[in-house]
Structure formats: C-alpha cells, structure tokens
Structure 1
C-alpha cells in the first residue's frame, strides 16, 4: 500500500501535475515523508531505505519519522 502511494506521489511530481495544483512549488525542493505510528521493523526499514534511493534518483528527497498518534 505504501509503495502504491509513493508511486502516486512520484507521478504527481514527475508529470508536472504538482505545478498545476501548486504553482508556488516551481523551483522548490520536494521531500516525501512517510509518517509511521511505530518504528519500522528490519524489513520495513529495508523497504524504506530502498525507496529512498529510488526517490532520490528521481530528484526528490525522502524520509520517514515515527509519530505516536
């Protein structure tokens, strides 16, 4: 599910749709952040690390943080 969401966000940026919706984003850096309710386990951390590389290669920044909601 997270992969699908990240793919949607990447497409939103890469197609330029973000600039149609948010013209003020022109020339600004973009960071995708996943907010986790709990600290990811080893498999989850590996997944996020791999996504970070793909997203950085697309020219965006990526991170995650834990927030106990």
Structure 2
C-alpha cells in the first residue's frame, strides 16, 4: 500500500498503549515537495474520514472504545517544507485531540 491509494488503509493495529494506530506507508521522496505534500495530505484526510464516518468500527471492531491516531512511516526524511506541512497537520489533529505522528524508517 502507499499514499497513492486513497481508498485503502495501509495498516491498522493496536499499539502497546492500547490505542488504535492507522499507519500510512509513505515511500515517496521529497523531490517534488508540492505533489508529495498534496498526496500525503489527501491520504491523511482520507484516514480521518475513515475514522469519523464510523467505517473504522465496521471494518475493525476491536477499535471500539479505544483512542485512535494516525502514524506516517516515511521512507525518506522530509524537506524543510515537508516538515512544516507535517507539523501543520499535527497542529490540526492536536486541536481535534487525535494523535498524529510520523517517523523516518531506517
């Protein structure tokens, strides 16, 4: 799966803190920052719609009564622009009390 497939959840799991984590697998480099950030934002907000619409509970009933968040696994480190985009998205999710984080896979 990847950020190119908006209609798919890349991974869903329950982490060690008993929270549901929806993971996005981002394999793209940041050479085209604008395109990459647009694609990533589209995927992230598709995940948010999946959570808020109730689809998550239909497909993954173990999510019931658990907090849920979104994790982005990045193959490539974001540029300064990409980092700013990710931080802005985090701020948006913080205001909704939804965990949003990312990490660069080594």
RMSD over aligned CA atoms reads 1.1
The aligned residue for residue 63 of structure 1 is 101
The unaligned stretches of length 5 or more in structure 2 are 1-38
Q: How many residues align?
A: 68
The aligned residue for residue 35 of structure 1 is 73
The unaligned stretches of length 5 or more in structure 1 are none
SS, match of residue 31 in structure 1: strand
Displacement over 2 Å in runs of 4+: 56-59
Q: Which has the higher helix share?
A: 1
Q: Which has the higher strand share?
A: 2
* Displacement of 1:39: 1.5
TM-score (norm 1): 0.88
